[in-house]
Structure 1
Amino acid sequence: MFRVSPFDKVFVSPALRCIQTASAILRRFKCAVSLCVEPGLFDWMRWYDILPKFLSPAYLKDAGYPIEISYIPHADEGTLHRLVGRESIRSFYHRVQKTVEFITK
């Protein structure tokens, strides 16, 4: 049906909904692939008045999610915290672009 190149990692936003969705898809297709939690992929920060609390990769791993805890993200929560309530749409696209460039190099 579809041809997919082999992959060994899936990069996800730290939003629990994204981690749950990616994990369910991997489980459904019986993929033994780890999830790399990347804050740089999180939502447009203009939507938020405060930075949401994220579960740590170690906590998620302990909860049974296939998290790659050794992954060092491009962006961190501090980066997102500085953008809360004021990130422009242009800045959002730039942040995501830089994150994608980082994870695909």
Structure 2
Amino acid sequence: MREVHEESGLVVASADLDARGRLRYLFPYRTAWSQVSNVFVVREFAGAPAPSDELDPEWFPLDAVPLAHMWDDAKHWLPGVLAGGRVERTYVFGEDLATVVEARDHVA
């Protein structure tokens, strides 16, 4: 909720968070970047989106989400989550720090 507010200006209530899974990102060539992220979908919020140091919010129809402009892993899991699914995966990024070189169907 804090991250959503800091990065977009939107206010989200904990009761409106729909937990959809967990992602683990491994960066063997820059281990400090490795992390685990929880995935949520939110349909109710307050406020208006505003730019931040992290992003300039934009709205897209579900069938036009610009996956090619996102981190490489998003194309593998985001469409399924937006369609109502869940995700529990680990993504390993290559030496270029941008390309997924391995995906596992679990989070260890």
TM-score (normalised: structure 1): 0.26
TM-score (normalised: structure 2): 0.26
